[in-house]
């Protein structure tokens, strides 16, 4: 199935709830199912994504269609679905169907296939949503802020007036590295060929 030929998912009737938490969902104008995220607390998000084992993984449940999230795109290896707590209109998740906890476990072939879909959905956003910028974000590991332990990429469409100041936040945290720090890092990380 081509992303260019995709039609939006059918609208939901009235409201439905997550089988897991009873969180209400609403159908937005574009037909994507998203929760009323402004009314949700971070505690609700943490409870929604808490998993005990791989079988209970939120992304795996979405792939198996056990959660009321309409897929935007699906092929043999990858899915795209709306993020339940979007930072901007059109914020989606792209994930491999095969379960990998994070970047450290993901295999190169699955990553390559997933990135091809990330590119395609980004280009579709440019046409359908009229954007010309996007952030691609992945958190791998709990220290990095990962809550859902199924590797995935956030694709966040950006608009000049969206007030999502990631660059401002970044610049407030960044500190210039000196030449020794840069050389030390290069010495620790450089490699001659990719390892499988």
Q: What does the pLDDT average to over 48-70?
A: 78
Q: Residue 77 has which token pair?
A: 């290896």
What pLDDT does residue 167 have?
A: 87
Start-to-end CA distance of the chain, whole Å, equals: 30
> In degrees, to the nearest 5, what angle opens at C-alpha 100 toward C-alphas 19 and 21?
15
Would you place residue 105 in the very low, low, confident or very high pLDDT band (cuts 50, 70, 90)?
A: very high
Farthest-apart Cα atoms in the chain, separation: 60
d(CA 80, CA 71): 6
Give the percent of the chain with pLDDT over 70: 71
Alpha-carbon distances, residue 94 vs 46, 90, 150, 169, 182 (angstroms)? 20, 12, 11, 24, 33
pLDDT tens by residue, 115-167: 999 999 999 999 999 999 999 999 999 999 999 999 999 999 999 989 888 88
pLDDT band, very low/low/confident/very high, at 31 (cuts 50, 70, 90): very low
Domain ranges of the chain: 3-189
Q: Which fold has domain 3-189?
A: HIT family, subunit A (3.30.428)
- Mean pLDDT for the chain? 78
CA 183 from chain centre, in angstroms, equals: 33
Looking at residue 58, what is its pLDDT? 94
Q: Residue 56 in contact with residue 70, Cβ under 8 Å?
A: no
Average pLDDT over residues 174-190: 93
Tell which wins on pLDDT, 115 or 41: 115
| Local structure of 17: helix, strand or coil | strand
Does residue 28 have a pLDDT over 80? no
């Amino acid at each position: 199935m081509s992303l260019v030929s995709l039609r939006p998912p059918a609208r939901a009737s009235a409201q439905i709830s997550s089988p897991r938490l009873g969180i209400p969902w609403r159908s937005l104008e574009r037909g994507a199912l998203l929760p009323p995220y402004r009314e949700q607390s971070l505690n609700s998000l943490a409870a929604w994504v808490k998993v005990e084992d791989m079988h209970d993984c939120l992304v795996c449940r979405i792939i198996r269609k056990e959660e009321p999230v309409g897929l935007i795109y699906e092929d043999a290896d990858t899915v795209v679905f709306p993020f339940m707590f979007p930072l901007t209109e059109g914020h989606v998740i792209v994930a491999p169907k095969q379960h990998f906890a994070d970047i450290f476990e993901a295999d190169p072939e699955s990553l390559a296939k997933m990135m091809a879909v990330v590119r395609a959905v980004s280009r579709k956003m440019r046409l359908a949503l009229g954007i010309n910028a996007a952030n691609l974000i992945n958190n791998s590991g709990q220290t990095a802020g990962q809550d859902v332990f199924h590797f995935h990429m956030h694709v966040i469409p950006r608009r000049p007036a969206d007030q999502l100041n990631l660059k401002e936040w970044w610049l407030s945290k960044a500190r210039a590295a000196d030449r020794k720090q840069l050389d030390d890092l290069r010495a620790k990380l450089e490699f001659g060929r990719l390892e499988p």
